[in-house]
Structure 1
Amino acid sequence: MHTELNVEKPATPQAYLDSLPAERKAVLEKLRSVILENLPDGFEETISYGMLGYVVPHKLYPAGYHVNPKEPLPFISLASQKNYIALYHMGIYAFPELQAWFAAEYAARVKSKLDMGKSCIRFKKMDDIPYELVAELCRKITVEDYISKYEDHEVSKSK
């Protein structure tokens, strides 16, 4: 029988970082700084789904996330997983041209092969994280562009 441990989830971004081993904390702090310095106005940092989250707050998008309207609309999440650092970027999922751009730029700048799912970029080698490319990725989509694309997708899904 598997019993879940009663582990408290961090309530703030700093508490999340403080819960990590030193080597992971340093990498996530650097990624966090890159994201915060390059994310367009309007997005807010929070804890979202147990990770560092960068969301469209309810004050800008009152409808929230369709899966759970009480949650703000997620855009980027950052997490320390067992075998890698995960950067979840919903813009890569929503904008195919952005995904193509990112894949091409990653291949041109990083020696290791890109390990990516629909919205998840997995960094297994901490020394190979392309921080400047992440910065450029963060600057590519405004809050307004993201909301518009999200609403287009939700409307087309409901037809």
Structure 2
Amino acid sequence: MQSAATTPNQYIAELPHDRKEAMQKLRETILLNLPKGFEETMQYGMLSYVVPHNIYPDGYHCKPSDALPFVSIASQKNNISLYHSGIYADPELLEWFKAEYPKHAKGKLDMGKSCIRFKNVDNIPFELVGQLTTKISVAQWIEIYERVLKKQ
């Protein structure tokens, strides 16, 4: 479910009551831990944290007019989703996250290539999300992106 919101605050304001608090806390967790240089915006109908064009003018290879995506969060029909491009592109980071998840969360990890799905808002491991957010700097993300993803 993509939102038509044009700002992060508008996105949060339009959420159903049962998702608003968890999404706001997830947003705050990311913003508190996001390395310098990433920027919060709306992209693809989600709250997104990107490398802006003033740092990486090439933009996203699939659509160069878009800033280079790094992390996005969205309230979907059946879950809250966290999309983290780093765990998709960096196998070591993915393994770290998989190993840490059971230490911070109840239940089984539900994820795809870059998408972590939280069906129960009470089981979002905010501390772990904060740690994950700190793991890659802008410079590291650009290097990983160019080495692993841009070629595809």
Bin of the TM-score, shorter chain as denominator length: over 0.9
In the other structure, the counterpart of 2:76 is: 81
In the other structure, the counterpart of 1:109 is: 104
Q: State whether structure 2 residue 29 is matched by structure 1 residue 34.
A: yes
State how far apart, in whole Å, the 1-side matches of 2:119 and 2:78 are: 6
From the CA coordinates, give the structure whose radius of gyration is larger: 1
Q: Provide the aligned length of Structure 1 versus Structure 2.
A: 151
With 56-65 and 106-115 compared, the bigger mean Cα shift is at 106-115
In the other structure, the counterpart of 1:9 is: 4
Q: State whether structure 2 residue 46 is matched by structure 1 residue 54.
A: no
Letter in 2 for 1:51: M
Determine which structure has greater relative contact order: mean sequence separation of CA pairs < 8 Å that are 6+ residues apart, divided by chain length.
Answer: 2
TM-score (norm 2): 0.95
Instruction: Confirm or deny: 8 A CA contact 2:40 2:47 kept in the other structure.
Output: yes
State how far apart, in whole Å, the 1-side matches of 2:120 and 2:29 are: 18
TM-score (norm 1): 0.91
Describe the shift of the 1:130–1:155 C-alpha distance in structure 2 as closer, same or farther (beyond 3 A). Answer: closer
In the other structure, the counterpart of 2:13 is: 18
In the other structure, the counterpart of 1:63 is: 58
Describe the shift of the 1:124–1:8 C-alpha distance in structure 2 as closer, same or farther (beyond 3 A). Answer: closer
1:114 deviation in Å?
0.2
In the other structure, the counterpart of 2:136 is: 141
Q: Percent identity?
A: 57
